[in-house]
Structure 1
Amino acid sequence: MTTGTLLFAHGARDPEWARPFEAVLQALQAARPGNPAVLAFLEFMQPDMDTAGDRLVAAGCTSVALIPLFLGTGGHVRKDVPRLLQVLQQRHPGVQWSLQAPIGDHPLVRQAMVDACLTATPPR
């Protein structure tokens, strides 16, 4: 069984916006070179979720973790992501797709944000 990771971000018209997400993808690929990983976007940027999911299936993935790179569970995570994931499940029924909580819900991410805020605001 090959497990892949599909990182999913909102997207923006400005290509510079994607740089932090691309850095996360590169670090993930370096940390787990045997596990395919792709970055996809909801809008404005490519690839979209369908294309990214197809790439993981073509790479031999039989299990895919979909990680929304969103800070919270808003409308996109509650409505758009499940709808898009359902399309992938229908297109690739032999693949186990698992939707993870948005990255902002992870305690380590929250702590990293606290640490960054503490660094930016010196104590009195």
Structure 2
Amino acid sequence: MSSHEKRAIVLFGHGARDPQWAEPMKRLQSILIGQLPTVQVELAFLELMAPSLPDTVDCMVQGGVQHIQVVPIFFGRGGHLKNDFPVIMAEMKQKHPGLDIQATSAVGQWDAVWQAIALEIVELSAKG
């Protein structure tokens, strides 16, 4: 991949009726924008909130993005990740055959995430 090709990251979450549910994802988006200034970082949701993942990808492709990394912000690997997500990814790959779109494992499968949470808990318990 050459440096002039447009890259993007999509933080993909479940969604909720309460708009405040997305605040942690917006915070992560803001951090990533600060650390990856040349990469477009957007949010997308499975249900209950907009935009959907296909709508976000469609907009990115229209904007000239050639490489998209989808990061599922899910802690448990339930039915949505096992069943719905692979179907959505396959449909997007079929719709945009020239697009390099990949997905990471869900953040809940990353050992570093659990190590960071454990470290915070240990530090909080030491203060208590």
TM-score higher than 0.5: yes
SS of the residue aligned with 2:126?
coil
Shift of 1:122: 3.4
Identical-pair percentage: 31
Partners of 2:68 and 2:83 lie apart in 1 by 19
* Aligned match of 2:24: 20
Contact 1:89/1:95 (<8 A) preserved: yes
Partners of 1:94 and 1:107 lie apart in 2 by 33
Output one character per residue of 1:5-35: Cα deviation in whole Å (capped at 9) or x when no partner: 1110000001111100111111111111111
Give the TM-score normalised by the residue count of structure 1. 0.91
* Aligned match of 1:79: 83
Shift >2 Å, 4+ stretches: 119-124
2:123 to 109, 116, 119: 119
Shift of 1:2: 2.0
The change in CA–CA distance for 1:80 and 1:101 in structure 2 (over 3 A counts) is: same
Output one character per residue of 1:48-95: Cα deviation in whole Å (capped at 9) or x when no partner: 011111122123211111110011322111111111111211221110
Give the TM-score normalised by the residue count of structure 2. 0.88
Partners of 1:60 and 1:24 lie apart in 2 by 24
Q: Are 1:34 and 2:38 matched, yes or no?
A: yes
Q: Are 1:45 and 2:44 matched, yes or no?
A: no
Query: Where do 5+ consecutive residues of structure 1 fail to align?
Result: none
Partners of 1:121 and 1:13 lie apart in 2 by 33
Shift of 1:123: 7.5
Partners of 1:75 and 1:9 lie apart in 2 by 14
RMSD between superposed Cα atoms in Å: 1.6
Query: Where do 5+ consecutive residues of structure 2 fail to align?
Result: none
SS of the residue aligned with 2:38?
coil
